[in-house]
Structure 1
Amino acid sequence: MTDPYEFLAWVNIDVVAAERAMLDGDDGPRRAIWSTQEPVSALGAWRTAVGRTQLVEEFEVLASTFSSCLAYEFDLLSYDVTDDFAYTTGYERIETSVDGVPRSFTLRSTQVYRHEADGWKIVHRHADILS
């Protein structure tokens, strides 16, 4: 069985760092933690993507709108981990600039992860704005 503490450490370090980078205008770290294997999908607060090609396009567009991230916190509500799959749900509390305008908002997010040869990768994300 996969160690849930190792999975949560990866989420709290790598996933959080990638989201913070995205909110600062850099989609590279986010691309690195997402699977390159199909299927992948994102039902985002602002954009939706199905398949790796659309996903990369979504990341590029989102990164071009974000800058000057002041804060990003992930408040985990629930999770589960098996050998090959995991999920997390929680609140993402964000302070960043969107199109140059400072904004604070909270997203409700659910992510699904697949354990691949090189470690955990995100395969699905659903997020919407709470406030």
Structure 2
Amino acid sequence: MSRRRREARDSRDRVAELEQLYAELPQIQCKDFCVESCGPIAMSPLERQRIKERGVEITTLAPTCPALTQIGLCSVYEVRPMICRLWGLVEQMACLWGCRPEGGFLDDLTARRLLRRADVIGAQTNPARPAVTGIGDDGPARR
């Protein structure tokens, strides 16, 4: 098998693994009011690549998320990164408009573990390297 085919298969496998991880998250009925919470975020290279494939370049320098439409909705919602998916699910990142996850909030440790798993899947990084979580650390706290 050629190197290019192996890389494509690996990428598909990692996307499937990432989607499986996302499926573990509790559901939340979003009211679409959280646009002011969207800003510079950390994400894995695979998550960034999936967003870029949708025509959106996200950098940590943008004061607001460039994936937002003119009416404040996420244009890449289906492929949004883990940190965006955790918004409103974690007590420390509770929705200011009252949206609550089914079954209650995730605790901070669980959220950090989910972010770390997404980072490892999406970055093929050294598992010993700390991930920037935005939850209980000095990393980005906004979504």
Query: Under a length normalisation based on structure 2, what TM-score does the superposition of the two structures give?
Result: 0.30
Query: Which structure has the higher relative contact order (CA within 8 Å, separation 6+)?
Result: 2
Larger strand proportion, structure 1 or 2?
A: 1
Larger radius of gyration: 2
- Whose helix proportion is higher, 1 or 2? 2
